[in-house]
């Protein structure tokens, strides 16, 4: 797709997203908030895994840091938990900044490992962060978590108050409606930034490091700096996701940011297509919305049982569905949904004269223990040859 049709399609999607709160029910608004929040985390992870080739299983840990930093910094001190009482906008910025700093602190480890070994190292972050969340109960609220201060900006609250009544086109705009527009602005900005990073000089450096660290170093790219920078950017995206999830739930608890959440982020980017910003958004939509929709309409689906009854509950059914989807993608669509869409565009626009597609991003799992690629790597990345 050329640049003009792509921009027109993007503008149409944004206009549709702006109008949706006028017609959606509270359930679909809440689902949309979760989708937009997780989409930002998936975009950050696809930069790390798909573009830079660094595997991470610790994305949920950085999201948890962002969520609790926002809850602590914007919350007031009570008899059970401490809070800094800062403006919510400052809390939102701190969530991304602190997560990025933690990512920067971990980046030396990321620079020495890759593949499954880096994935296992990041996995440890999930357990460490969970241990801290449970035991630092004066800041986190322990097992039960803590409530989250609603977002507000310039006296306007993104909740059901301040103002108490707000209507647009005859539709009363309550907290979910107001948060929708906040999340939409953040999601569009995050995708725009990721797209520019991916196609710019920074993204090309990440891609060259992914394809061959030796060749990248010979080209004058600082390999360690490139690895650290993408880890910091991905961590900041995860921190912002955590803060948005905290706002969407209205409360934070350690169980929200378990290892399962990290796996879900990986599923999103694999289904969507590694390295694709749009694919990460579509993957987030699929993985986040499916269990919620199945749970909402479980009474109308005879093969689903109520949660805890011992039968096939909506959560298990959704995991089976996207487990099968992953197998299908790995067998038949190695580039994910983004790769399938790209091939379809090539066939429709160029016919049989279309040149062969460039090399797909290398699987971060296909490396040996010292970071050497397990397969022959191309001399130059697809991004470099653009």
Confidence check: pLDDT of 135 > 50: yes
When pLDDT is averaged across residues 160-179 and rounded to a whole number, the result is 82
Tokens 């879900």 found at: 264
CB 42 within 8 A of CB 269: yes
- pLDDT at residue number 361: 53
CB 72 within 8 A of CB 90: no
Question: Taking all residues of the chain, what is their mean pLDDT, rounded to a whole number?
Answer: 84
Return the minimum-mean-pLDDT range out of 10-14, 177-181, 297-301.
297-301
Determine what percent of the chain is predicted with pLDDT higher than 90: 42
Confidence check: pLDDT of 209 > 70: yes
- pLDDT at residue number 317: 84
Confidence check: pLDDT of 97 > 90: yes
Tokens 């891609």 found at: 207
- pLDDT at residue number 265: 94
- pLDDT at residue number 362: 55
**Side-chain half-sphere CA neighbours of 132 within 13 A:** 14
- Of the candidates 257, 238, 240, 251, which has an alpha carbon nearest to the alpha carbon of residue 92? 240
Band the pLDDT of 1: cuts 50, 70, 90. low
What are the pLDDT digits (tens) for 271-307?
A: 888 888 989 999 999 999 988 888 888 777 777 777 6
Residues in the chain, overall count: 386
pTM comes to: 0.86
- pLDDT at residue number 374: 47
Q: What is the DSSP string of 42-92?
A: HHHHHIIIIIT----S-HHHHHHHHHHHHHHHHSPP-SS-------HHHHH
Tokens 């959606």 found at: 24
**Side-chain half-sphere CA neighbours of 193 within 13 A:** 14
When pLDDT is averaged across residues 163-172 and rounded to a whole number, the result is 78
CB 177 within 8 A of CB 26: no
What are the pLDDT digits (tens) for 318-376?
A: 888 878 888 888 888 777 777 777 778 777 776 655 455 444 555 554 544 444 444 44
- pLDDT at residue number 238: 96
The domain ranges of the chain are 3-257
- Of the candidates 169, 29, 113, which has an alpha carbon nearest to the alpha carbon of residue 367? 113
What are the pLDDT digits (tens) for 57-84?
A: 899 999 999 999 999 999 988 888 899 9
Band the pLDDT of 2: cuts 50, 70, 90. low
Confidence check: pLDDT of 182 > 60: yes
Confidence check: pLDDT of 33 > 80: yes
When pLDDT is averaged across residues 81-95 and rounded to a whole number, the result is 93
What are the pLDDT digits (tens) for 222-246?
A: 888 898 999 999 999 999 999 999 9
Of residues 287 and 311, more confidence is placed in 287
Of residues 4 and 53, more confidence is placed in 53
CB 260 within 8 A of CB 2: no
Confidence check: pLDDT of 258 > 80: yes
């Amino acid at each position: 797709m050329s640049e003009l049709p792509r921009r027109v399609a993007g503008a149409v999607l944004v206009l549709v997203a702006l109008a949706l709160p006028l017609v959606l029910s509270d359930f679909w608004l809440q689902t949309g908030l979760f989708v937009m929040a997780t989409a930002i985390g998936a975009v950050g992870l696809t930069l790390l895994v798909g573009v830079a080739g660094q595997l991470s299983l610790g994305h949920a840990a950085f999201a948890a840091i962002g969520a609790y930093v926002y809850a602590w910094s914007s919350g007031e001190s009570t008899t059970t938990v401490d809070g800094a009482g800062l403006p919510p906008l400052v809390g939102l910025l701190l969530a991304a900044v602190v997560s990025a700093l933690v990512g920067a602190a971990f980046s030396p480890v990321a620079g020495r490992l890759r593949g499954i070994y880096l994935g296992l190292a990041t996995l440890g972050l999930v357990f460490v962060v969970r241990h801290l969340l449970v035991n630092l109960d004066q800041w986190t609220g322990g097992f039960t978590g803590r409530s989250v201060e609603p977002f507000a900006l310039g006296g306007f609250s993104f909740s059901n108050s301040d103002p108490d009544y707000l209507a647009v086109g005859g539709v009363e705009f309550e907290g979910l409606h107001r948060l929708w527009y906040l999340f939409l602005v953040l999601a569009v900005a995050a995708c725009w930034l990721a797209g520019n990073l991916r196609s710019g000089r920074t993204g090309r450096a990440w891609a060259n490091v992914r394809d061959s660290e030796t060749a990248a170093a010979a080209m004058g790219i600082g390999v360690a700096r490139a690895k650290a920078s993408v880890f910091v950017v991905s961590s900041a995206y995860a921190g912002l996701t955590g803060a948005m999830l905290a706002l969407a739930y209205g409360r934070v608890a350690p169980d929200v940011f378990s290892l399962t959440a990290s796996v879900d982020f990986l599923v999103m980017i694999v289904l969507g297509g590694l390295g694709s910003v749009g694919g990460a958004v579509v993957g987030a939509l699929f993985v986040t919305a499916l269990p919620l929709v199945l749970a909402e309409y479980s009474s109308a689906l005879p093969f689903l049982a109520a949660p805890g009854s011992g039968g096939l509950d909506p959560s298990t059914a959704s995991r089976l569905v996207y487990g099968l989807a992953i197998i299908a993608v790995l067998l038949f669509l190695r580039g994910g949904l983004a790769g399938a869409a790209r091939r379809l565009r090539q066939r429709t626009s160029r016919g049989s004269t279309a040149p062969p597609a460039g090399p797909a991003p290398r699987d971060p799992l296909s490396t040996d223990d010292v970071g050497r690629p397990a397969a022959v790597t191309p001399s130059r990345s697809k991004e470099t040859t653009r």
